[in-house]
A and B are shown apart, each in its own frame.
Chain A
Amino acid sequence: METKRTVFPNKVLPYLFVAPQLIITLVFFIWPATQAVKSSFERADPFGFSTQFVGLTHYIRLFQDPLYLNSIGRTVMFAIAVTAISMGLALLFAAAVSRLIRSSQFYTTLLVWPYAVAPVVAGILWWFLFNSSTGILAYMLRYFGVIWNANLNGTHAMILIIAAAAWKQISYNFLFFLAGMQSVPHSLTEAAAIDGAGPFKRFWTIVFPLLSPTTFFLFIININYVMFDTFGIIAATTNGGPNQATNILVYKVYSDGFIGLNIGSSSAQSVVLMLFVIALTFIQFRYVERRVNY
């Protein structure tokens, strides 16, 4: 296909058109990123008047710091739980909705709503539900003998943020799974039914394998989401506590830098995260297109 080329008579005009986007990218992404890389190699005096080059010191300290290693552990746990729960439930919902004939539109609409909720709001919502004195879920848990208190109990706090983060992401995963399932030709499942496969077997041996490109894509997207976009949820609920229990990497960048005022270490942490996201993006571009196993 031949792409249409617009030729501008004025040489400057095209640059003006792209300038807003370029400026935003430069000011809010490129510049802070270079600043972060730069300050991760520097130490500033308490008043910020002078800086001194310290090489890899921050990075070395980081990986010797038990708090940072704890944060990595917490993040891994959080990421696995949120990705597994949100993708698992989304797959279940998509499978259920794709079996419906008439009311599928209705359920799809309802299931997509949480996606429109900002992370902070999602966090607050679940914080209210799980609030130890007024929350309905905390109240119900009392019947099972669980004294719920996310402010004191680290496990409870972790469950709270996992629930909020997974809940919000289900919508997105659901939409992709549903679209993926609808693009599996009907005759394949019919052929499998004739070949003696029951509904579960059909799903696991035909539909799910054919969904693998979608699943892989969503996996990358979800990891990205858990690592970065969940900041708002934590900021609105646990603030990384109690006792570091929910201090995942992205929140630790913020708390060490802006609350603890350890700019050097915070910068080093954000550079580590940056490398991580670059690696993810690379994997995504490199393999998502090719991970089609048929």
Chain B
Amino acid sequence: MASITLTSVKKTYHGNVTAIHGLDLSIEDGEFVVLVGPSGCGKSTLLRMIAGLETITTGEVRIGNTVVNRLEPAERDIAMVFQNYALYPHMSVRGNLEYGLKNRGTPRPEIDRRVLEAARILEIEPFLDRKPRQLSGGQRQRVAMGRAIVRQPKAFLFDEPLSNLDAKLRGQMRVEIRRLQRTLGTTSVYVTHDQLEAMTLADKLVVMNAGVIEQIGRPLDIYADPQSLFVAAFMGSPGMNLVDIERLRGLVADLPASIPSGTGTIGIRPEDIALDEPATPHFTISATLEAVELVGSESLIYANAQGLSEDVVLRSQGIHRGNPGDPLTLHIRHEVLHSFLRETGRKAAA
């Protein structure tokens, strides 16, 4: 087990496409780090550079105390779980699990012991002699996990390992991966664009955009206190409501004085907008109901306020019964406002 440190890492493909623009990241020993970001932001590229499947254009990657830039994937002693699992189709499940150990010259009894143990942990013992094509998607996923854990590597790298599973199975595997990582204590880097996976798995969440890191932090801290417009809009489902401050001023006379100067955009989480009047200081916006999405335990209400360019989304517990055109009064407490600078889109200092 080991820490992973990236220093000024940059990746340029074939001289013109720059996928990663000089990035610093340090991952502690045993930490579970999740990389999230929109498609094409360079998550896989970063992971593959750590794995050694992509060259590092400039900068330095360390695993433990070793600079691994020039090491082959095999020499880095990491394991990777691929999105399509990449199981060897001509080998049995046992063969898949053994392959990496055999290549490293592990003695036979040790191989058998580790394979059986991994199979037991992942509950794939009954399938050991089947070929991958004779397994369901979820079982294949487990075998892919098994192939990673039998090697007892310094780190696990996951590239969207659950995205080929259905929602329910994804939830199960998510919990299981978390539990497994806790038990083994192996440093893990996990790429996803699933909000839920990002929030629930990460010790440390890294939000990426266009080849740079937007914010690093604990998941709830990032959710509660996004440092940029991008993070505010990206994290959460639906994301934060972002309203131009001038339009808001046109609508609300009593905006709090605490809004920092230079603010261009105000952000409000959907769950921070209330339909009932709160006790704490707040302001109100009059709007009309556009649509309601019933998600079961909660409702997503889309409201249109005269003068705002986009609908405001709010989340309310239970089932909201209302029809399009109904008048609504939106109550927004002063303390839930997020202010972002007009110039840079970064969070405005209070």
Known contacts A201-B103, A294-B131; decide if A191 and B86 are in contact (CB<8 Å). Answer: yes
Nearest-CB residue, chain B, relative to A205: B99
What are the residues of chain B within 8 A of A191 when measuring CB–CB?
A: 80, 82, 86, 88, 147
In the complex, whether B74 has a CB less than 8 A from a CB of chain A is yes
Query: Is B84 a contact partner of A192 (Cβ separation < 8 A)?
Result: no
- Cβ B53 vs Cβ A193 within 8 A: yes
Interface pairs (25), CB distance under 8 Å: A187-B84, A187-B86, A188-B88, A188-B89, A190-B53, A190-B73, A191-B80, A191-B82, A191-B88, A192-B99, A193-B73, A193-B74, A194-B52, A194-B74, A194-B79, A195-B99, A196-B100, A196-B104, A197-B99, A197-B103, A198-B74, A201-B103, A210-B89, A294-B131, A294-B132
Known: A194-B73, A196-B74. A187 touches B82 (CB 8 A): yes
C-alpha gap A201/B72 in the complex (Å): 14
Knowing that A187-B82, A191-B147, A210-B90 touch, tell me 4 more A-B residue pairs with CB under 8 angstroms. Answer: A193-B52, A194-B51, A196-B74, A209-B90
- Which chain B residues numbered 58 to 110 have a C-beta less than 8 Å away from chain A? 72-74, 78-80, 82, 84, 86, 88-90, 99-100, 103-104
Q: Counting CB contacts under 8 A, is B120 at the interface?
A: no
Q: Quick check: is A9 within 8 A (CB to CB) of the other chain? A: no
Q: How distant is the Cα of A209 from the Cα of B92 in the complex, in angstroms?
A: 13
**Which residues does chain A contribute within 8 Å of B100, judged by CB atoms?**
194-196
Residues in A whose Cβ lies below 8 Å from that of B99: 192, 195, 197, 205
Instruction: Tell whether, in the assembled complex, residue A293 and residue B90 are in contact, meaning their CB atoms are under 8 Å apart.
Output: yes
Answer whether residue A37 sits at the interface, using C-beta atoms and an 8 A cutoff. no
Q: Is the C-beta of A185 less than 8 angstroms from some C-beta in chain B?
A: yes
- Which residues of chain A (187-221) have a CB below 8 Å from chain B? 187-188, 190-198, 201, 205-206, 209-210
Q: How far is the CA of A185 from the CA of B131 in the complex (A)?
A: 17
**Number of A residues, CB within 8 Å of B:** 19
Q: How many A-B residue pairs lie within 8 Å, measured between CB atoms?
A: 61
Q: Report B-chain residues with C-beta under 8 Å of the C-beta of A294.
A: 89-90, 131-133
Q: Which residues of B contact A (CB under 8 A)?
A: 51-53, 72-74, 78-80, 82, 84, 86, 88-90, 99-100, 103-104, 131-133, 147, 151
> Which 9 pairs show the lowest CB-CB distances between chains A and B?
A195-B100, A196-B103, A187-B86, A294-B89, A294-B90, A196-B74, A191-B86, A193-B73, A194-B73
- A195 and B82 CA atoms in complex are apart in Å by 13
- CB contacts (< 8 Å) of B72 on chain A: these are 193
Those of A167-195 within 8 Å (CB) of chain B: 185, 187-188, 190-195
Q: Specify which chain A residues have a CB less than 8 angstroms from the CB of B132 in the assembled complex.
A: 294
* B86:A188 contact, CB within 8 angstroms: yes
User: In the assembled complex, how far is the CB of residue B209 from the closest CB belonging to chain A, in whole angstroms?
Assistant: 26
Cα of A209 to Cα of B88 in the assembled complex, Å: 10
Whether A194 contacts B80 by the Cβ 8 Å rule is: yes
What chain B residues lie within 8 Å of A192 (beta carbons)? 88, 99
Q: Nearest residue in A to B151 (C-beta to C-beta)?
A: A195
Report the nearest B residue to A198, measured CB to CB: B74
